[in-house]
Chain A
Amino acid sequence: MTTQELRKERIDRGIKVRSDGLYALMSWREMAYLALPRFILIAGMLSLPFLMPGVYWQRVISIVCIYAILALSFDFLAHYVGLVSLGGAFFIGVGGYIAGILNSYFHISPFLTVPLAAVIGGALCTLLLFPCLPLKGVYFAIVTLMYPLFMARIIEAFNIFGGTDGILGIDSFSSTFVEQYFIVAMLLIFIFAIRRMVTTDMGLIFTAVMDNDQAVKASGISITKYKSLAVFIAASMGCMAGACLTHIYMWTGISMFALDFSILPIAATVIGGSGTLVGPLLGCLILVPVSELLRDFGTLRIVFYATLLVGFILFKSEGLMVFGQRKYEQFERWKGI
Chain B
Amino acid sequence: MEILVYGTINSVSLALMGLGFAMVYGISRVPNFAHGALYIVCGFVTWALFQRVGLPYVLSIFLALCVNGLLGMFMYRFILIRVRGMNISEIICSYAIGLAILEGLRWGGFRGMTNTLPVFMEGSFKLGGVPVDYHRLFMVIIGLLLLAGLWAFTHYTKLGLALQGMAQDEQAALMLGIDSDFMAMLAMGFGAILAGVAAILILPLGNIVVESGYNVLIMSIAVCIVGGLGSWMGAFFAAFIIGFAQILTVVFIGSHFQMVVALMAIILTLILKPSGLFGRQKELEERV
What residues of chain A have their CB less than 8 Å away from a CB belonging to chain B? 78, 84, 86, 131-132, 134-139, 141-143, 146-147, 149-150, 153-154, 156-157, 214, 259, 263, 266-267, 270, 297-300, 302-303, 306-307, 309-310, 313-314, 317
Contact = CB atoms under 8 A, between A and B. Distances in A.
Contacts of A139: 270, 274, 284
B91 A142 contact: yes
B270 A135 contact: yes
Contact of A143 (B96, B106, B267): B267
Contact of A302 (B99, B271, B284): B99
A266 B92 contact: yes
Contacts of A142: 31, 91, 221, 225, 266, 270
Given A143-B266, A146-B218, A153-B260, A138 B103 contact: no
8 contacts: A86-B91, A135-B274, A135-B284, A138-B87, A142-B266, A146-B263, A150-B267, A313-B83
A150 B91 contact: no
B233 interface: no
If over half of B's interface residues share one DSSP class (helix, strand or loop), that class is named, otherwise mixed; here it is helix
B137 interface: no
A302 B107 CA distance: 10
A136 B79 CA distance: 25
Contacts of A214: 288
Interface stretch (B58-66, B141-149, B160-168, B251-259): B251-259
A150 B263 contact: yes
Most buried by B among A147, A157, A317: A157
Contact of B257 (A157, A307, A309): A157
B71 interface: no
A299 B210 CA distance: 12
Interface in B27-83: 31, 79, 82-83
A50 to B, nearest CB: 35
Interface of B: 31, 79, 82-83, 87-89, 91-93, 95-97, 99-100, 103-104, 106-107, 218, 221, 225, 254, 256-257, 259-260, 263-264, 266-267, 270-271, 274, 284, 287-288
4 cross-chain pairs, A with B, having the tightest CB-CB distances, nearest first: A157-B256, A306-B100, A306-B96, A302-B103
If over half of A's interface residues share one DSSP class (helix, strand or loop), that class is named, otherwise mixed; here it is helix
Contacts of A134: 287
A142 B88 CA distance: 10
Contact of A137 (B87, B100, B288): B87
Contact of A297 (B88, B107, B259): B107
Contacts of B88: 78, 84, 137-138, 141
A136 to B, nearest CB: 6
B226 to A, nearest CB: 12
A13 B91 CA distance: 38
Contacts, number: 111
Nearest to A266: B92
Contacts of B259: 149, 153
A310 B270 contact: no
Contacts of A147: 267
Given A138-B88, A150-B263, A310 B97 contact: yes
Contacts of B99: 259, 263, 302-303, 306
Nearest to B108: A300
B263 A149 contact: yes
Given A86-B92, A142-B225, A302 B267 contact: no
Nearest to B287: A134
Nearest to B261: A153
A299 B100 CA distance: 9
A314 B92 CA distance: 11
Contact of A313 (B92, B100, B260): B92
B75 to A, nearest CB: 10
B91 A300 contact: no
B217 to A, nearest CB: 10
A225 to B, nearest CB: 16
A105 B274 CA distance: 39
B91 A141 contact: yes
A313 B271 contact: no
B257 A132 contact: no
A137 B87 CA distance: 8
Given A134-B287, A136-B284, A266-B92, A300 B104 contact: yes
B271 A131 contact: yes
B31 A299 contact: no
A313 B89 contact: yes
Nearest to A142: B221
A133 to B, nearest CB: 10
Given A146-B266, A303-B107, A310-B93, A138 B260 contact: no
Contacts of B218: 146, 149
A300 B87 contact: no
A141 B87 CA distance: 10
A139 B25 CA distance: 13
Contact of A156 (B89, B256, B266, B271): B256
A146 B92 contact: no
Contacts of A300: 103-104, 107
Contact of A307 (B100, B221, B267): B100
Contacts of B225: 142
A132 B284 CA distance: 12
Most buried by B among A259, A266, A310: A310
Nearest to B210: A299
